Amino acid sequence: MDRLSAMALLVKVAELGSMSAAARALNMPLTTVSRQIGELENTLGVRLMIRTTRKLT
């Protein structure tokens, strides 16, 4: 996945408030969403979200 697609995925996660909701909306496995966000964070060298068992912050 290219960086632009990963950023679009990040926007969807932020809009819906959770990775699982974004995964369902995009018909994509949750592990794929999590991995792509993690790779984007590594590429940019910043933590983009705090992961908890609750909604994203």
Q: Residue ranges of the domains in the chain?
A: 3-44
pLDDT of residue 16: 94
Give, for all 57 residues of the chain, the pLDDT tens digit. 688 999 999 999 999 989 999 999 999 999 999 999 999 999 999 998 877 766 655
pLDDT of residue 49: 84
Q: Distance between alpha carbon 19 and the CA centroid of its chain, in Å? A: 6
Taking alpha carbons only, the member of 41, 43, 44, 45 closest to residue 19 is: 41
Coil, strand or helix at 48: coil
pLDDT of residue 2: 84
Taking alpha carbons only, the member of 8, 15, 11, 19 closest to residue 50 is: 19
| Token pair for 42 | 């590594």
**DSSP 8-state secondary structure symbol assigned to residue 56:** -
